[in-house]
Structure 1
């Protein structure tokens, strides 16, 4: 009886863990603005409350902006912040992802600006209002799997490279159109996922515009990003366009979360509303299982 109960409890724990979403905290790129702030201490005084406000807004809505130090007009030490969780992340996963942004983005200090692209969210700060920007000189494309070991990491090894390249272009075009049409400043998703197949090859794609952009600006960013990312195929199994106003990714595998939305719910079928769920499991799993097993063993002895 005790052994059977132990197996059932372990199976339940595995099911809860397996259903959890992925906050996708892998770093795709970090870029710090050239040159330092006019006043490092003044920038720091504004940076901390700006990040606090930004974190609150992103945690509540999946997207947010903040501005501190702007009351005196043009201030070279002002801090404007923007944060975006990609819309397949649950509220819990969004908090986990943006916690990583808060941890890594300050590495750009004392630069007057910096941006950080994770595979599940984005964060940026600057000393001016950049919220309506779509394209810029720091836009970049990465071909291959993040952490794939440099050049050649994540090569496409399928049987039909030409078919894969066609599938990539079709998938990117599909998500670009859908995401742009959904973009509404301050409240629209500007997000889409999808797949396409050609010649026996399949490509999956995700598009996300920042929530401050309208449909026209979102489309402008994603079309440029799609054209750039498509050039990674067919050589690379994955490609990312990391642009001023948007993020775009394709892959040979489905990489987004299926069972979550940014607005409500949880990415796990076992709904523990806490960002420290994994830590809680580590502390309680073994002790809870052993306690229950001991109770049943004692009951068995008493009834024997």
Structure 2
């Protein structure tokens, strides 16, 4: 069922037709995804005899219903969990909103997956980490809408130091520690952004040098041409 850590399936005849979607977080390996999928599939079986159910682990998600839900973004019965631990630092409670804005932009343009962080300065400094992942059955517009909705719901968890939102089409989590499956995900993203910035800067400088060279060449050409005309006039 799972290819590239994602898969959908349909089986049976209406009204007993079963629709299923499973997806691992983008930062899981193929083997880690398989292990997580086996656990979530077993957990989903515990939903019987209900006509549908969802199971979310740190690394994967699985859902089954008796109707096609693949393009759903969010609905009233979506899940939110706020931790019991609280952080009453005013700056901490302002930081997640900044991180969520990054997630919405990144997820829309990064195949539905985004990680972001924001740090405070000072003696009692802290860092807020966040991750969002859309199900691949959504297009970029619906993904952005889903993550934005999840972000708005997650803000209501504050002052909890950690919160999770499971929407029909995506999942979002924030915390005061890094909880991702790939510790280098943030480093890779930041490195890529820095590299892109350096490339853009280098291209801009290169273009500027070319423009300056062209302008200097034209100026020299005009000066030489003027001198030749002047010399010609003197000789006559």
For 1:214 and 1:68, how far apart are their aligned partners in 2?
Answer: 24
Q: Secondary structure at the match of 2:90?
A: helix
Structure number, greater radius of gyration: 2
For 1:216 and 1:99, how far apart are their aligned partners in 2?
Answer: 31
State which of 43, 48, 57 in structure 2 corresponds to 1:118. 57
- C-alpha change, 1:69 and 1:80, in structure 2 (3 Å) is same
For 1:232 and 1:109, how far apart are their aligned partners in 2?
Answer: 31
TM-fit CA distance, 1:143: 0.5
Structure 1 residue 215 and structure 2 residue 124: aligned? Answer: no
Q: Secondary structure at the match of 2:107?
A: helix
Unaligned runs of 5+ in 1: 1-56, 145-152, 183-188, 262-304
Q: Size of the alignment, in residue pairs?
A: 182
Query: 1:62: which partner in 2?
Result: 5
Structure 1 residue 201 and structure 2 residue 126: aligned? Answer: yes
For 1:260 and 1:111, how far apart are their aligned partners in 2?
Answer: 40
Question: Which deviations, in whole Å up to 9, do the C-alpha atoms of 1:60-94 show, x marking residues without a partner?
Answer: 31111000114xxxx01111000111111111111
Under a length normalisation based on structure 1, what TM-score does the superposition of the two structures give? 0.57
Return the structure number with greater relative CO, CA threshold 8 A, min gap 6.
1
More helix by share: 2
Under a length normalisation based on structure 2, what TM-score does the superposition of the two structures give? 0.73
For 2:130 and 2:183, how far apart are their aligned partners in 1?
Answer: 17
- Is contact 2:28-2:182 (8 Å) kept? no
Query: 2:99: which partner in 1?
Result: 171
Q: Secondary structure at the match of 1:102?
A: helix
Structure 1 residue 225 and structure 2 residue 150: aligned? Answer: yes
For 2:50 and 2:80, how far apart are their aligned partners in 1?
Answer: 23
For 1:210 and 1:125, how far apart are their aligned partners in 2?
Answer: 14
For 1:67 and 1:258, how far apart are their aligned partners in 2?
Answer: 32
Unaligned runs of 5+ in 2: 186-236
